[in-house]
Amino acid sequence: MRNPQRPALLFLCAAGAAGFFFGLPNAVLHLPFAALLHPFCLYLIASRAASDGEVIIYGWLQGFLSNAAGLYWLAWPMLDVADMPPALVLPLLLALYALLACYSALAAFAARSFRLAFAAEDGAGRRIPLPRDTAPPVMSGLAYGGFEVLNSVLFSGFPWLTLSSAFAFFPVMLQGAAYTGGYALSAVYAATACLCASLQDGPGRTGRACAALLIPAALFVCGVQRLSPGAGDRDDKAGMQAHLRFTAVQGNIDQARKWDRDFQTATVEHYIRLSEKALAEEKNRQSGQSSLVVWPETAMPFYFSRRPELDGMLRRFAAGHAVYLAFGGIARDEDRKGAPLLHNSLFLLSPQGKIAGRYDKTHLVPFGEYVPVVDDIAFLRGLLQGMSFSPGTAPRPLVLDGPPPLSLGPLICYEAVFPYPAQEQVRQGADILLNVSNDAWFRKSSAPLQHLAHSAVRAVEQARPLIRATNTGISAVFDAEGRLTTRVEGLFTEACLQAEVTAGAEATLYHRLSPLPELFLAATAATALVLGALRRRAGCRNATI
């Protein structure tokens, strides 16, 4: 029998997807709180669908539309870099959206499971939610965060569209991440949205409405307190902490020419010319001299230490200007059998032109830097651009000698999307986070803004300033509270960003607790699935709620 709620369910799917698009950073109109429509609509689907099957179908549909709206830009690297025919790109994208949509389907199923688990029965044996009980929406929000956690670890992880990243450019509402982490902050916002959705459940609305208002109000007060100039003794400590003045160069190198061997010398000269111009202007302004110059991910498209003429140009630049030079490049090693191992690396040259450190990217992009399971799929070779990388095994900071010494925690490109690499870098002593990236793959889309948003979350989680240097944008600087202090405006432009950051020293509550928040959220999500499975086994799959 057709569910009369079907038109309303379809509308909820569309509304949730539209809210996700406009709520997350995008190139059209960014309204952060609109992102809450995604968990809000999933909770309403859980309450209005007639069966478990309908909940999963409509929750999946909303997730599919949301991922398609937020990740439409994944088509560009397939078309522009891999040169795939559109007839092949479309099914690949649809398959990815379909896979990611499963997390939304499970979140909706979890909400239904909690609503039934905390329900009572009336005289006719029908199950009704306890109107004054806030447990179902709150637990549903926690499960939503749990599925974000699972999305970050299963199948190598792709947690790009996280609820907390919607508030990256609204720092007063992002400060909770210093205490809970980004995924738990997503859970808190999802719980707020679910509480609002639960106001349809009849008597007892007042308590749930108060809870729905108190949560964002508490986050706001927390944010104001943490961002206030006199918060604790952080300002006093900041006066005693080391400062780093740097120059980040946005080279805007054409992706189509980047790996052309005949263009390599010109690429090196281009970055040196931009850097020398920026350093000269800085000297003329008498604004202090940069002690670090940063070039983006794979800015140098050759095997460093294997091209003496190009290596010498970089060493002479660093020594001639007495600066540290951090640059992205390709490292080539050999395994025990002598087979080549390629690494996406960040090199550090000292002011004497000597190698002061190297970081090899540990979390690689599947299908972009390596092909999982099968390493020779013909139509994916274009995405790899002739190179398949191996992950690094020693994620250590890069150290700038003092006095006092400073430690840079490298995050190469995709690693800024996850909390774990930044957590490890700070655990090993990083004072400043350094994200180098190349977002030239994605044209002028929402992707660079979304990528930038994740960097803000990492800065707040670890209370570390974050320097971001990219090839085509968006190069930027966040302070230790995640405030965007300066950025390069526009995409696909040459630019040099010069600023000063203060080294972080505070160990946030999240840093001390991690990974306990993630484990708790994942356990909540798993509990919902177990409850749902037990209920189905008991024959209650079509219970009315």
Phi/psi-derived region of residue 206, left when phi > 0, alpha when psi is between -120 and 50, beta in every other case: alpha
| Burial class of residue 194, CB neighbours in 10 A (0-12, 13-18, 19+) | buried
Active-site option among 361, 415, 496, 518? 361
| Cα–Cα dist 424/320, whole Å | 34
Return the amino acid letter for 153: V
Active-site option among 54, 413, 496, 518? 413
Helices (H), 75-204: 75-76, 86-117, 135-153, 177-180, 182-197
Which sign, positive or negative, has the C-alpha torsion 77, 83, 89, 95? Answer: negative
Query: What are phi and psi for residue 128, nearest 5 degrees?
Result: -130, 140
* Element containing residue 129 per DSSP (H, E): strand 127-129
| Cα–Cα dist 87/372, whole Å | 23
* Element containing residue 293 per DSSP (H, E): strand 292-294
Query: Of 265, 25, 279, 59, which is closest to residue 147 (Cα–Cα)?
Result: 59
Active-site option among 41, 148, 194, 297? 297
| Cα–Cα dist 232/234, whole Å | 6
**Based on C-alpha coordinates, what's the Rg of the chain?**
25
Helices (H), 296-418: 308-321, 381-384
Q: What is the DSSP string of 232-269?
A: TTHHHHHHHS-EEEEEEEE----TTTTT-GGGHHHHHH
Instruction: Give me 516's structure tokens.
Output: 């306990």
Cis peptide leading into residue 515 (ω within 30°): yes
Instruction: Give me 290's structure tokens.
Output: 């940069």
Known active-site residue 413: yes
Residue 173 · residue 220 · CB < 8 Å: yes
Q: Helix, strand or coil for residue 367?
A: coil
| Cα–Cα dist 327/275, whole Å | 12
**Secondary structure E strands in 380-533:** 398-400, 406-412, 432-437, 466-470, 476-478, 484-487, 495-502
The catalytic residues are: 297, 361, 413
